Amino acid sequence: MTSLRACLLLLCVAATQDISPADVDAMLKRADGMFEEAKKGYDDARAANSVQGFVEAGFKLEEARFKYLVVQEIGSADNKKAAGDRLRAVQQLGKLIRESRLAISGAPAAPPPSDKPDAPAAKPAVPATAPAKAAADLLVRLPVPDAAVQREAEKSIKDLFKAEYAKKTAADRQALAIALLEQAGKVGDDPGGLWVLYRDAQDAAVQAGDAKTAVLAVDAAAQRFDIDPFAMKSAALAAVGKTAKTGDEISQVIDAMNRLIDELIASDVYDAADKTAAAAVGLAKRAAQPLLVQKAAVRAKEVSEAKAKFQSMKGSLETLAKSPDDPRANGEMGQFLCFVKSNWDMGLRFLAKGPDGPFKTLSGKEMAAPTGAAELVAIADDWCALAEKDKSPLKRTPMLAHASTIYEQALPDASGVLKAKIEKRLGELDPALLAGGVDLIALIDPKKDARQGTWQKDGRALVNAAANEYDRIQIPYVPPDEYDVQATIVRRSGDQSIVLGLARGNNQWGPNFDFYHGGMLKSGVERMDGKQPEFNSLVYTGGRVFHVGKRVQMEAQVRKGGWKITADGKTIFSYMGDYKNLDMSGGWTMPDTKLLWLGLWKGEVAFERLVLIPVSGQGKRLR
């Protein structure tokens, strides 16, 4: 690997001395060469399915990024623009590298085929290899077509979607945005048509108040055209935020703003990240939800700290150029890389040369590359202890996330008490729990809460080990007025009902997944309008939701005006209406209609994760 010290020296000499335009051009050329090496390293790592290869490609990419940053500081206007363009490409390649490493280490096993003839074939799980996408030329972008070309393209597009353009309700504008994006995927070599499709999709999404689709439209356009995606996303989210009225609508805009902040920080655009965080705080106050305001305020503080560390890092570069072993500068650089950039592979190397203290001690232990489960757990424990003492949200969250990664590494080789400890710590480090969520599985006592069936704890999971008909268990928790539930569920055997029971006030209902009626596989709701799931209008017939062996990530969102449930990002149920129209009857009835609950019909299922995130109101634990 090219020496990062040498890279830093070049950067700082350039930044602190008078140099000619030719010198800056040469630095930009060296940065481009490093970027090309990173691209080649990425492609080689894909071919070899090598995690270490992706790490090395990431190092090279980081060196190129530092050089581009210096060119932005000292170069001419043309050089600054070129460096800015390259930094956008650096961000894209960095995303490919991160996704590739995850694909190798975190892919689920493929589910076995279903034994039901009417069940659709399961999509094959992602193989334990890197994504197929190669590092194509990330620097080439098309210019935005001129006005005349756009007008010509508009004629054809508006004629093709004449009926859709004529409809003006929010739902209609959202449908138009999605239709235009789908059409863009079918367009070949037609820059004018492609640009208009992306442009109008973004506009329609903004009119619909759909922050997520608006951002998708900008991202798609940025893949092909020479635009500033950050400025466009910021403008789109500001426009959606102005029209957002309900707490749920405002929360969705803030979620999109947080994702934009992540991108801005990754690209070292801290002033814009600061402004976006401040806008999110303002929106949260409009929602009048204390928890949302608190989270937005913490996020704004994190951004402010990240900005300060970035400025400090620039000073550290100059120091390292003169004194490569300077402890303070090494410590500052290491903290910037670990806590701001989430680049622990590189950051630990600097922390290990930092001033005496816990950061130096812990990073030195990690650099020794321990492999034993007990040694890894000890290091993770130390990171957790350090995080608990630190008042900085910018440091605390990354340290806990890093500790969680180390615990995961230790788990496969652990057994007995050590394994139980790791599983407990991983549950405690769940990001949703750290953000104020409630671990529902931890609240359940199978002996006290089961209403039928053989329920038991299996590590962090809740399992029904010998399910019969109408097996169910209550969760001793009265949910708040509005909330989300995040669940990770695995069907181990069987092929029928899995029920994620919800409640709001005195109304309780049961989304029922994968039951048969008249020989047809369905999912429905127990009950709506006094009708069983076989006969009411809230039904899903898009195929099996839970295949044996497949881990499903499910989310339920309960709000004042309605609720919805997604499975692996796909909407299964969406209900807008009066909660009085929902109730329970028959074998699924529970004794306390204020509580959340779970139900099964013949089969073994593991609820590996069940976390409630309050949105508004106050929940109540019964024990």
**Percent of the chain whose pLDDT exceeds 90:** 52
Whether 426 has a pLDDT exceeding 60, the answer reads yes
Average of pLDDT values for 565-586?
91
The C-alpha atoms of residue 229 and residue 427 are separated, in whole angstroms, by 37
The pLDDT tens digits of the residues spanning 292-313 come to: 888 899 999 999 999 988 888 7
For residues 432 and 484, the answer to whether their CB atoms sit within 8 Å is: no
For residues 177 and 215, the answer to whether their CB atoms sit within 8 Å is: no
pLDDT of residue 118: 35
Among 485-489, 511-515, 612-616, the minimum mean pLDDT is found in 612-616
pTM for the model stands at: 0.70
The pLDDT tens digits of the residues spanning 121-157 come to: 333 333 333 444 566 555 577 899 999 999 999 999 9
Domain boundary among 243, 276, 306: 306
Six-digit token string for 519: 């020989």
What string of DSSP letters covers 311-376? HHHHHHHHHHHH-TT-HHHHHHHHHIIIIIS--HHHHHHHHTTSSSSHHHHHHHHHHT---SHHHH
Do 488 and 514 lie in one domain? The reply is yes
Do 187 and 302 lie in one domain? The reply is no
Do 14 and 29 lie in one domain? The reply is yes
Residues with Cβ within 8 Å of 482's Cβ and at least 6 positions away in sequence, in order, are: 247, 248, 558, 559, 560, 614, 615, 616, 617
Average of pLDDT values for 52-59?
83
For residues 612 and 619, the answer to whether their CB atoms sit within 8 Å is: yes
Average of pLDDT values for 367-372?
89
Question: Is residue 90 one of the residues assigned to a domain?
Answer: yes
Six-digit token string for 555: 């989310």
Distances (CA, A) of 617 to 446, 480, 505, 575, 613: 27, 5, 11, 21, 11
| Three-state secondary structure of 163-184 | HHHHCCCHHHHHHHHHHHHHHH
For residues 88 and 373, the answer to whether their CB atoms sit within 8 Å is: no
Question: Is residue 51 one of the residues assigned to a domain?
Answer: yes
pLDDT of residue 193: 94
Do 148 and 211 lie in one domain? The reply is yes
Do 473 and 601 lie in one domain? The reply is yes
Whether 75 has a pLDDT exceeding 60, the answer reads yes
Do 461 and 499 lie in one domain? The reply is yes
Rounded to 10°, the helix 170-184/191-208 angle is: 160
Average of pLDDT values for 2-7?
45
Rounded to 10°, the helix 4-16/51-74 angle is: 10
The C-alpha atoms of residue 115 and residue 308 are separated, in whole angstroms, by 58
Whether 364 has a pLDDT exceeding 70, the answer reads yes
Q: Give the closest residue to 11 by CA, choosing from 64, 48, 47.
A: 64
What string of DSSP letters covers 590-605? -S-TTSEEEEESSS-E
For residues 315 and 342, the answer to whether their CB atoms sit within 8 Å is: no
Q: Which residue has the higher pLDDT, 137 or 224?
A: 224
Six-digit token string for 353: 């040369």
8-state DSSP, 548: B
Do 344 and 378 lie in one domain? The reply is yes
CA neighbours within 13 Å on the CB side: how many for 65? 22
Average pLDDT, the chain: 85
**In degrees rounded to 5, what are phi and psi of residue 583?**
-160, -175
Do 356 and 247 lie in one domain? The reply is no
Average of pLDDT values for 572-585?
91
Residue position matching structure tokens 């073994």: 604
**Percent of the chain whose pLDDT exceeds 70:** 90
Q: How confident is the model at residue 74 (pLDDT cuts 50, 70, 90)?
A: confident
The pLDDT tens digits of the residues spanning 60-73 come to: 887 788 778 778 76
- Tell me which residue range forms the domain holding 416: 309-433
Domain boundary among 306, 338, 372: 306
The C-alpha atoms of residue 146 and residue 435 are separated, in whole angstroms, by 47
Q: How many domains does the chain have?
A: 5
The pLDDT tens digits of the residues spanning 456-472 come to: 998 789 999 777 899 99
Q: Give the closest residue to 463 by CA, choosing from 450, 478, 481.
A: 450
The C-alpha atoms of residue 523 and residue 528 are separated, in whole angstroms, by 13
pLDDT of residue 19: 59
Q: How confident is the model at residue 620 (pLDDT cuts 50, 70, 90)?
A: very high
Question: Is residue 112 one of the residues assigned to a domain?
Answer: no
Question: Is residue 506 one of the residues assigned to a domain?
Answer: yes
For residues 215 and 237, the answer to whether their CB atoms sit within 8 Å is: yes
Q: Give the closest residue to 482 by CA, choosing from 426, 547, 556.
A: 556
Domain boundary among 210, 225, 240: 225
Q: How confident is the model at residue 107 (pLDDT cuts 50, 70, 90)?
A: very low
Question: Cα angle at 603 between 597 and 609, to 5 degrees?
Answer: 45
Question: Is residue 122 one of the residues assigned to a domain?
Answer: no
Question: Is residue 420 one of the residues assigned to a domain?
Answer: yes
Question: Is residue 32 one of the residues assigned to a domain?
Answer: yes
Rounded to 10°, the helix 327-335/358-367 angle is: 70
Do 342 and 285 lie in one domain? The reply is no
pLDDT of residue 10: 47
Do 257 and 343 lie in one domain? The reply is no
Question: Is residue 599 one of the residues assigned to a domain?
Answer: yes
Average of pLDDT values for 280-300?
89
The C-alpha atoms of residue 118 and residue 502 are separated, in whole angstroms, by 29
Among 133-142, 514-523, 581-590, the minimum mean pLDDT is found in 133-142
pLDDT of residue 102: 66
The pLDDT tens digits of the residues spanning 326-353 come to: 999 999 989 998 998 888 888 898 999 9
Do 289 and 316 lie in one domain? The reply is no
Do 287 and 381 lie in one domain? The reply is no
The pLDDT tens digits of the residues spanning 380-425 come to: 999 999 998 988 888 988 999 999 999 988 988 999 999 989 988 8
Q: Which residue has the higher pLDDT, 103 or 296?
A: 296
Phi and psi based region of residue 279 (left: phi greater than 0; alpha: psi -120 to 50; beta: remaining): alpha
